[in-house]
Amino acid sequence: MLKPFLHALAPDEVRNLIRKFKVLDSEIVDLDESFCRVLSKAVKADHDLPEFNRSTMDGFAVRSIDTFGATESSPALFKTVGEIAMGRDHDYSLKSGETVRIWTGGALPSNADAVVMLEHVEEINSDSVEILKAVAPFDNIARKGEDFRSGELLLDPGRRLRPADVGILAAMGRTGVPVTKRPVVGIISSGDEIVPADQIPPPGCVRDINRHTVSAAVRDAFATPLWLGLTPDSLKSVKKLLADGLAKSDMVMISGGSSMGSRDFVIDAIKSHSDSEIMIHGVSVSPGKPFIMARVGTKPVIGLPGHPVSAMVCFDQFVVPIIRRLEGESSLLPFMKPKVEAILSRNISSKEGRVDFVRVKLHGSDGNWLATPTLGKSGMVSSMARSHGYVRIPLDCEGLYKGDKVNVILFANWAGEEFEKEYLFGHEASPGGFGIVFGASRQEKLSRI
Amino acid sequence: MLKPFLHALAPDEVRNLIRKFKVLDSEIVDLDESFCRVLSKAVKADHDLPEFNRSTMDGFAVRSIDTFGATESSPALFKTVGEIAMGRDHDYSLKSGETVRIWTGGALPSNADAVVMLEHVEEINSDSVEILKAVAPFDNIARKGEDFRSGELLLDPGRRLRPADVGILAAMGRTGVPVTKRPVVGIISSGDEIVPADQIPPPGCVRDINRHTVSAAVRDAFATPLWLGLTPDSLKSVKKLLADGLAKSDMVMISGGSSMGSRDFVIDAIKSHSDSEIMIHGVSVSPGKPFIMARVGTKPVIGLPGHPVSAMVCFDQFVVPIIRRLEGESSLLPFMKPKVEAILSRNISSKEGRVDFVRVKLHGSDGNWLATPTLGKSGMVSSMARSHGYVRIPLDCEGLYKGDKVNVILFANWAGEEFEKEYLFGHEASPGGFGIVFGASRQEKLSRI
């Protein structure tokens, strides 16, 4: 066996290796399909938004200068010359002392520069109003181009689109959006002892867990899983599935097998391709040690550990950045998860020269989070389901002590009522309530208090 | 107009109102479709996992008592009686001083209770080995039932399934999973001035933004958006689309229109159904004030503000909990988003008696996050796209000062390379690197350092 050579690779160096993988081609998708996809071309504004001075209140449009000095005790009298119908063109032009009724979103008359809110207006009759408060130029209006101006860069390529970004595209009329293709991630499970989840394992065998956890993790990373098959520990069979996967998908992941032999089969199967490179073979990360990152041509081939927890740690740390690269995203880091600051409930030892991901369970105690390590080997899938997240112990740290403050990275952005309550409101002195204005009858309201 | 009656409703009271909505029926989905779905029945273990004592290392299975006293200077000699093939039944039973070769995941002989790791074994010849280190009972094995035991409650109903939960279901052979149906959320846009995004707006008109941002937000909440249509401000037309939506979807959301009249049309259309109730009409939340929560029968009908930013704030705060209720989730809170602690770069004023969500942009400064409020009206969709998240100012707070420490709730779990780097590593004294063991040649390795 080759004596391994240890070299601590900085995260930046890992990302430089990942940049060797080729970003996928781009395609045009419908606006409503663009959410969570990665933009492949810059989007510039081709017109102003709004395209006209727009009222942001229900009220009366005025020339602000005409309201100068108006107060409740000394209101200014205005002549109402009409009402601006929503969504219709109009050619109102106000003379001194004239006003038009306007609704939120309405287009101001060309020479009006402000809107007086309804509550500062006393309607005398259908032809005249009293303005009870002076307005300054541009009060209660969104000016032409205030949201964005024609020519302005709105969205950078490499950006994963959020709901607000989809809104910007809608505002620009971009109903076809250029995005990078969603990576198709081929999944292979290997191991003589593994049987499909729908079978009863014979003695000495276990069901395939990784196929399903990895497939879920691929979806969580916004990519598309493609099941390629389960292979025994045989070079011929691993080679066949790998070749199949390289033809059908943008990236191939092989998990397990846990035996020494099968690990070599994965390496040998990769090396049987002429344009291939083993980029990482083994990481000093626990759990996760036997991780493999390789390429065949420009496509990534990943060997994940057989232990389910190790496979998931490697997925978060190394595979998510690779998927982000394939999709052309500007960031090549693990996705940000909710984090909570907690106090360790007992010592955790760690080997120097190794990054440890310690699963912990959290519970509130005296206004703090207390993190208790979940005991359980990396083969125990329940230890992960029972934990809320993990604590990362860096390379140069020999362990942490009871009472140490740590950041716990949560596994998901949901975790159950009591937990979320504490997360959302726990650190605020006064969470308060929402102010709710009821439209219901007073009787009804009182019955609810 | 009815004089509004203000009553600050605590978040708990809002959740009690939300609990009036009926949880949807359940259905059985394929294991790989169960990720992110909400479990509708408890899952108990119907067998032990592992079902046999399993090796967690490559090495030699022994009766630990036979290794007593073994050290490098005084190794214990063992007779190798065979090798345990992966995934096959065997009936090895060790005599004193006997051992069998075993791989990670292999089933131990019935009377063996530990595994000696390969690196603590010196192989003399094919028939004998020297053990260089004593092992204690259960060293390097996962005991039968150590992951979980038959009869144990594994997953509660009301739990949204994470990848590890899917792994537990796989381990149990549950390839059909009982989950609550995914809510179908009908979406209506209203307003005389609104035109579809694929049209060029005539003078005085704007494109429909909310249809698309809300649809993205529905997907982000794991539900299915259903577009019902765009209606002008007409009671007849709003009623028709609402009735259509109630027939086709589990919940209806109407956004806009911004004119006074159209707001009343939404209320009138809801009230035209005999078994209906306006539960919340207006909230003292900024932006988001004209929010409506109602029910027709057991289905929620939501009126969202026309301003895109207001609509999104209401969605996060009120609609997400409603969707979680329909899906039978145990938590009825907004989803946890990544949060960062930041220092305000300037004063923010807020009205007492109102909850304010202030959009902010973040940047690193002297090892801290600095949060700068994004100026922009709630009609400005770009102000949200340009921000990283928001600061929540509680009901009883009159504002915050420059230099105050605040929690910023991020809009998404991705935000670009530099940002994520700081989020992931910023608060750790020593981020360190990953320890990477290269399998490549030394030449190759050196060229990389």
Structural domain includes residue A219: yes
Whether residue A269 is contained in a domain is answered as yes
What are the tokens at A162? 């959020």
State whether A359 and A288 are in the same domain: no
In a domain, B272, yes or no: yes
CATH number of the domain at A33, please: 3.90.105.10
* Nearest C-alpha neighbor of B237 from the set B249, B247, B229, B246: B229
Average pLDDT over residues A321-345: 93
> Which residue in A has a C-alpha nearest to residue B380's C-alpha?
A147
Does residue A444 belong to any structural domain of this protein? Answer: no
Quick one: pLDDT band at residue B2, thresholds 50, 70, 90? very low
Contact B267, B1 (CB under 8 A): no
d(CA A276, CA B287): 55
Residue B429 has pLDDT above 80, yes or no: no
- Best probe of the A interface among B15, B52, B295, B381, by most A CBs < 10 A, is B381
CB contact under 8 A, A167 and B213: yes
- Residue B64, classified by CB atoms within 10 Å of its CB into exposed (0-12), middle (13-18) or buried (19+), is middle
Comparing A54-63, A130-139, A428-437, B117-126, the range with the smallest average pLDDT is A428-437
> Do the Cβ atoms of A413 and B376 come within 8 Å?
no
Higher-confidence position of B370 and A264: B370
A205 and A171, same domain (yes or no): no
In this structure, the answer to whether residues A154 and A189 fall within a common structural domain is no
Task: State how far residue A108 is from chain B, nearest Cα, in angstroms.
Answer: 9
A281 shares its domain with A258: yes
Q: What angle do CA B158, A413, A187 make, to 5 degrees?
A: 90
Same-domain status, A255 and A382: no
Q: What is the pLDDT of residues B389-400, one digit of tens each?
A: 999 888 778 889
A311 and A236 share one domain: yes
CB-based contact (8 Å) between A446 and chain B?
A: no
A441 — pLDDT class (breaks 50, 70, 90):
very low
> Which residues face A54 on adjacent strands?
A107, A142
Domain CATH number, residue B319: 3.40.980.10
Q: Is A419 found in the same domain as A350?
A: yes
CATH number at residue B65: 2.170.190.11
Position B393 scores a pLDDT of: 86
How far apart, in whole angstroms, are the C-alpha atoms of residue B179 and residue B160?
9
The pLDDT value recorded for residue B368 is 84
Bridge pairing between strands A194-195 and A276-281? unpaired
Of A169, A336, A416, the CB nearest to B420: A336
Residue B1 lies in a domain: no
The structure tokens 């076809």 sit at A176
CB B437 within 8 A of CB A282: yes
Nearest CA in chain A to B195: A87
If pLDDT is split at 50, 70 and 90, which confidence band does A294 have? very high
Identify whether residues A114 and A169 lie together within a single domain: no
Q: Does B142 touch chain A (CB under 8 A)?
A: yes
* Residues B121-139, mean pLDDT to the nearest whole number: 94
Least confident of A14-28, A331-345, B239-253, B369-383: B369-383
CATH of the domain at A362: 2.40.340.10
Provide the chain A residues 146-165 that lie in CB contact (below 8 A) with chain B.
146-148, 154-155, 159-165
Query: B309-347 pLDDT, tens per residue?
Result: 889 989 998 999 999 999 999 999 889 998 888 999 999
Residue A398 lies in a domain: yes
| Cβ–Cβ under 8 Å, residues A122 and A75 | yes
Output the average pLDDT for chain B: 88
Kindly report the nearest CA distance between residue B245 and chain A, in angstroms.
19
Instruction: Locate A321 and state its tokens.
Output: 């950045």
B202 part of contact set with chain A, CB < 8 Å? yes
B 296-315: CB under 8 A from A: 306, 308, 312
> Contact A188/A241 with Cβ under 8 angstroms?
yes
Q: Kindly list the residues from chain A whose CB atom is less than 8 angstroms away from the CB atom of residue B339.
A: 338-339
**B185-199 exposure pattern, b = at least 16 Cβ within 10 A, e = fewer:** bbbbbbbbbbbebee
**Phi, psi of A321, deg, nearest 5:** -60, -35
Residues A204 and A238 in one domain: yes
Shortest Cα distance, chain A CAs vs residue B107, angstroms = 5
Q: Does B389 lie in the same domain as B320? A: no
Mean pLDDT, all residues of chain A:
88
Is the model's pLDDT at A7 over the cut of 60?
A: no
For residues B168 and B267, membership in a common domain is answered with no
Say yes or no to pLDDT of B445 above 80: no
In this predicted structure, the answer to whether residue A177 has a pLDDT above a threshold of 90 is: yes
Three-state secondary structure call for residue B348: strand
Judgement on whether residues B320 and B369 belong to the same structural domain of the protein: no
pLDDT at A429 over 50: no
B425 contacts A8? CB cut-off 8 A? no
Q: How far is A46 from chain B (nearest CA, A)?
A: 12
| Number of domains making up chain B | 4
A77-81, A145-149, B8-12: lowest mean pLDDT where?
Answer: B8-12
Q: Is residue B122 included in any domain, yes or no? A: yes
Q: What is the pTM of this model?
A: 0.90
Q: At B240, phi and psi to the nearest 5?
A: -65, -45
> Strand, coil or helix: what is B15?
helix
pLDDT digits (tens, 9 = 90+) for B237-264: 999 999 999 999 999 999 986 555 566 7
What is residue B283's three-state secondary structure?
strand
- Position B436 scores a pLDDT of 55
Cα–Cα distance measured from residue B24 to residue B39, given in angstroms and rounded to the nearest whole number: 12
Q: Is residue A441 part of a domain?
A: no
pLDDT over threshold 80, residue A2? no
Residues 6+ apart with CB under 8 A from B247: none
Q: Which domain holds residue A213?
A: 11-21+183-326
Q: Are strands A114-117 and A121-125 parallel, antiparallel or unpaired?
A: unpaired
Residues 108-137, chain B: which have Cβ within 8 Å of A? none
